[in-house]
Amino acid sequence: MPEHFPRPVRLPPVSFDRVIGAHDPAEETRIAHATASGLLARVRADDSGVSAERLIAFTAEHGIDEIAELWSKAPARSLPGALWELYLLQLAIHTDAATAAFLYERGRAELATADAAIAGAPAPASPEELVALIDTILRGVFRGD
């Protein structure tokens, strides 16, 4: 047995909400909404449309994985949730436009609703037309349409 016993160290009380790596859902929600509204405000402030085109080109080349991961936790009816779903849809259509056109046509043929007319895609929609439509929808979001 050792002859020297170390004395216990008294640490100051720890606030568990300040522990590094702690997960705070309220803070994530606040940041998701702040980034989404900040992004739209910045792009919509540019009347020339150059910022929207730069943003679409940037996301097509580099992606927005970190922001999209943050937005993915937001409810679908919120701004960050809606943006995440639009970017997810754009990614799916750009990745495999032929399958997206096939699935759109199958859904349009099966549903007896006005959804196809509201979506704005021609019937039947070619892969190129769906790619152009999702890009137009994103540009419209950035313009405030």
pLDDT digits (tens, 9 = 90+) for 77-127: 999 999 999 888 888 898 999 999 999 888 888 877 766 666 667 777 888
Place of tokens 């509201």: 118
Distance separating alpha carbons of residues 65 and 26, to the nearest angstrom: 20
Q: What is the pLDDT of residue 37?
A: 92
Indicate the pTM of the whole model: 0.71
- DSSP conformational letter for 126: P
Share of the chain residues as helix, strand and coil, in percent rounded to the nearest 5:
65, 0, 35
pLDDT digits (tens, 9 = 90+) for 21-79: 657 788 888 999 999 999 888 888 888 888 888 888 888 788 788 888 889 989 989 99
Burial class (CB in 10 A: 0-12, 13-18, 19+), 32: buried
